Amino acid sequence: MTIAAQAGVAASRAQPRARWTVDAVAALFDLPFPELLWRAQGVHRDHHPPGRVQLATLLSIKTGGCPEDCGYCPQAARYHTAVEESELLDAGAVRAAAQAAKAAGATRFCMGAAWRGPKQRDLEPVLAMVREVKALGLEACCTLGMLKEGQAEQLKQAGLDYYNHNLDTAPEFYGEVVTTRDYQDRLATLERVRDAGIAVCCGGIVGMGESRRQRAALIAQLANLDPPPESVPINHLVQVEGTPLAERFGGASALDPLEFVRTVAVARITMPASTVRLSAGRRELGEAVQALCFTAGANSIFYGDRLLTTGNPDVAADQALLARLGLSPA
């Protein structure tokens, strides 16, 4: 995070902020679609360069075998999916992947490990990976699960810029998706990250069977974090065979694509300064819906043909889409 951004965060924390009520966020969701996009685009232009999209690449550094029971996740050890458990990658392999991402135009490199939370012996090699990524001139981000006391500080000292830890959904719907950790566990990790001086990357997943009001409650939770996350990934559920949510919906989308666009627009309005990232499920949305999402204020994408264990549009397809839309890498 730049010195200017750190100063902005400090200033925002020093001043009381108006809180977003769920009713107020729900009212945004209920706006006519053209009105909502018009408002979101105005907020976006007031806070971000129009026509610029940040490219971030995500690498799974440790896949599968997770003890959690997140109903959407093919990496949970208890589900029978095609994902095979693998050992932690070495720093050389991560460096090579980061070099390839940078050559393809990415400016942020994110590393994800399928842990409930890292043990100290797990964290040590990750710290080396962070240093390798930073040596290439890329922003470094990690998602490693819940952090214990002192771990965020170690990641900060290694040079980590962002830590991702999603809230997933609204508090009142959370128990329908995850039972092995509670909402407060997630908030505690976010607090440790913030206190260590690392920027927060935190968003959620939509299309898991939640109501519109529950989507509004998720956005309210995110917007009321103090300060709001610097990065807000919005994920559309990818139904992976063998996971409970895939079995529940049987491949049929639980969300109208325009409702996904509405979610992006509401995130932009309620979190004006945040980077709003189109994340998992982008390939399934198609190019026309992605174009609407950029109009609604999305200004970042995960870039590369793989997101941990699910597919993503390939680099050439993304480059072609951005060129057709007149958008440039940030």
Please tell me the distance from the alpha carbon of residue 118 to that of residue 114, in angstroms, as a whole number. Answer: 9
Q: Is 110 an annotated catalytic residue? A: yes
- Give the active site residue among 39, 110, 262, 293: 110
Q: Is 186 an annotated catalytic residue? A: no
Q: Is 66 an annotated catalytic residue? A: yes
Cross-strand partners of 52: 328
> Residues 180, 182, 185, 191: is their CA dihedral positive or negative?
positive
Please tell me the distance from the alpha carbon of residue 321 to that of residue 123, in angstroms, as a whole number. Answer: 38
Q: Is 293 an annotated catalytic residue? A: no
Please tell me the distance from the alpha carbon of residue 74 to that of residue 68, in angstroms, as a whole number. Answer: 11
- Give the active site residue among 192, 194, 201, 268: 201
- Give the active site residue among 39, 95, 108, 141: 141
- Give the active site residue among 108, 186, 262, 277: 277
- Give the active site residue among 39, 66, 262, 283: 66
- Give the active site residue among 70, 142, 202, 293: 70
Q: Is 70 an annotated catalytic residue? A: yes
- Give the active site residue among 39, 73, 202, 262: 73
**Looking at the annotation, which residues are catalytic?**
66, 70, 73, 110, 141, 201, 277
